[in-house]
């Protein structure tokens, strides 16, 4: 299923915290009552586990899904002081880890720690007093960061940072993915080749995007394999670059194809050279070359 559609559940999980389905997810997957933090236990299969795992797929686009959700303060009663992103673009427990260690109530809310009067007053509760110079410096820095904090009578809400409306939309995430992938620069002048089979076009497009499910990528996704060695040579780890350009078996195929068609030199030595060959092939429309260039697609 489309990743962007599944990502919408990350949004509704946050904004519908009091719904029955959200409560069931937190109970089944043991989120320990932390509202708005998506979590899944690998030992419990089901749709939610698949929804949670898209965060790893989005890592391929250099997108941190958790980072795109931000708390908008209202009364501060539903926003975690240490664990939510509400003070700028940082999470306090990560920015001030030494202070977080000595916090007595790590699931406290913003309203528990900040008292808004004439000035912003921080009310800390510690297991012990600050001892080191770093802890004291971090405390002063944290107080200064909260100096402009304002609370209201409104309920805390969530904001989506990837869209102008601050509300999640499938389109906004899709646009972000396309921008991060940078299709134009990443794929150059690749064209959909009408005279090649659809499945071949799709495969070549995935190859240019480096999205072929080879063994090393499957292992990165947490999939257990008996071996990650190349299925052809059984010597080197199976990667996109190896299986298409460096494997002894693939080199023989490229050499045979190059000699047979007369397209010399047509033996890629690495992934970048392979992309150049494919991009050049997809952009040529001369009929006398179509047969030869179609064979390149068939070799792939």
Tell whether 204 and 269 lie within a shared domain. Answer: yes
Residue ending a domain, among 155, 171, 194, is 155
pLDDT tier, 244 (very low <50, low <70, confident <90, very high otherwise):
confident
- Calculate what percentage of the chain has a pLDDT beyond 90: 2
Tell whether 125 and 212 lie within a shared domain. Answer: no
Assess if residue 65 is contained within a domain: no
pLDDT tier, 253 (very low <50, low <70, confident <90, very high otherwise):
confident
* Least confident span in 38-52, 207-221, 228-242, 281-295: 281-295
Residue ending a domain, among 120, 139, 155, is 155
In residues, how long is the chain?
A: 300
Q: In the prediction, which pLDDT does 254 show?
A: 77
Q: In the prediction, which pLDDT does 116 show?
A: 67
Asked if residues 3 and 54 have their Cβ atoms less than 8 Å apart, the reply is yes
Q: Above 50 in pLDDT, residue 291?
A: no
Q: Above 60 in pLDDT, residue 98?
A: yes
Tell whether 197 and 294 lie within a shared domain. Answer: yes
* Least confident span in 17-21, 39-43, 103-107, 264-268: 264-268
Assess if residue 60 is contained within a domain: no
Q: If you average pLDDT over residues 3-11, what whole number do you get?
A: 88
Alpha-carbon span 65 to 47, nearest angstrom = 18
Q: In the prediction, which pLDDT does 35 show?
A: 44
Question: Residue 226: phi, psi to the nearest 5?
Answer: -65, -35
Tell whether 195 and 288 lie within a shared domain. Answer: yes
* Least confident span in 19-23, 72-76, 95-99, 267-271: 267-271
Nearest CA-CA partner of 151 in 108, 91, 111, 112: 111
Assess if residue 56 is contained within a domain: no
Could you give the number of structural domains in the chain?
Answer: 2
Tell whether 193 and 284 lie within a shared domain. Answer: yes
Tell whether 247 and 141 lie within a shared domain. Answer: no
pLDDT tier, 118 (very low <50, low <70, confident <90, very high otherwise):
low
CB atoms within 10 A of CB 214: 20
* Least confident span in 7-16, 43-52, 158-167: 43-52
Tell whether 208 and 273 lie within a shared domain. Answer: yes
Distances (CA, A) of 81 to 109, 142, 178, 220: 5, 12, 34, 33
Tell whether 85 and 126 lie within a shared domain. Answer: yes
Residue ending a domain, among 138, 155, 172, is 155
Per residue in 146-178, pLDDT (tens digit) is 888 888 888 888 889 888 888 999 889 888 887
Alpha-carbon span 82 to 52, nearest angstrom = 22
pLDDT tier, 277 (very low <50, low <70, confident <90, very high otherwise):
low
Asked if residues 80 and 34 have their Cβ atoms less than 8 Å apart, the reply is yes
Assess if residue 186 is contained within a domain: yes
Tell whether 200 and 286 lie within a shared domain. Answer: yes
Q: Which domain does 265 fall in, by range?
A: 182-299
Assess if residue 161 is contained within a domain: no
Assess if residue 5 is contained within a domain: no
Tell whether 205 and 278 lie within a shared domain. Answer: yes
Assess if residue 23 is contained within a domain: no
Assess if residue 258 is contained within a domain: yes
Q: ω before 265 within 30° of 0 (cis)?
A: yes
Q: Above 50 in pLDDT, residue 258?
A: yes
Q: If you average pLDDT over residues 237-261, what whole number do you get?
A: 81
Tell whether 127 and 190 lie within a shared domain. Answer: no
* Least confident span in 116-120, 130-134, 231-235: 116-120
Distances (CA, A) of 179 to 70, 78, 170, 208, 273: 21, 33, 14, 16, 24
Asked if residues 159 and 71 have their Cβ atoms less than 8 Å apart, the reply is yes
Q: In the prediction, which pLDDT does 91 show?
A: 86
Tell whether 220 and 257 lie within a shared domain. Answer: yes
One DSSP character per residue, 117-153 reads SSSEEE---BSS---SHHHHHHHHHHHHHTTT----S
């Amino acid at each position: 299923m489309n990743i962007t559609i599944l990502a919408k559940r990350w949004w509704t999980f946050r904004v519908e915290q009091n719904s029955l389905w959200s409560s069931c997810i937190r109970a089944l997957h043991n989120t320990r009552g932390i509202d708005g933090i998506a979590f899944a236990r690998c030992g419990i299969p089901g749709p939610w586990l698949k929804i949670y795992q898209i965060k790893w797929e989005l890592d391929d686009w250099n997108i941190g899904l958790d980072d795109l959700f931000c708390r908008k303060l209202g009364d501060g009663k539903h926003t975690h002081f240490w664990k939510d992103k509400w003070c700028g673009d940082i999470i306090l427990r990560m920015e001030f880890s030494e202070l977080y260690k000595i916090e007595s109530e790590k699931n406290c809310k913003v309203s528990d720690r900040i008292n808004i009067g004439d000035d912003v007053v921080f009310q800390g509760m510690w297991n012990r007093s600050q001892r080191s110079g770093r802890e004291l410096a971090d405390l002063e820095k944290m107080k200064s960061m909260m100096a402009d904090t304002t609370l209201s009578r409104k309920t805390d809400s969530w904001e989506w940072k990837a869209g102008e409306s601050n509300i999640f939309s499938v389109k906004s995430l899709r646009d972000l993915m396309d921008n991060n992938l940078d299709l134009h620069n990443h794929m150059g002048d690749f064209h959909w080749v009408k005279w090649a089979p659809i499945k071949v076009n799709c495969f070549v497009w995935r190859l240019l995007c480096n999205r072929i499910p080879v063994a090393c990528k499957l292992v990165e996704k947490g999939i257990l394999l008996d071996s990650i060695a190349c299925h052809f040579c059984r010597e080197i780890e199976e990667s996109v670059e190896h299986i298409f350009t460096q494997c002894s078996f693939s080199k023989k195929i490229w050499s045979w194809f190059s000699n047979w068609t007369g397209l010399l030199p047509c033996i890629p030595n690495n992934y970048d050279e392979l992309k150049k060959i494919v991009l050049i092939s997809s952009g040529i429309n001369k009929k006398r070359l179509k047969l030869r260039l179609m064979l390149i697609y068939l070799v792939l």
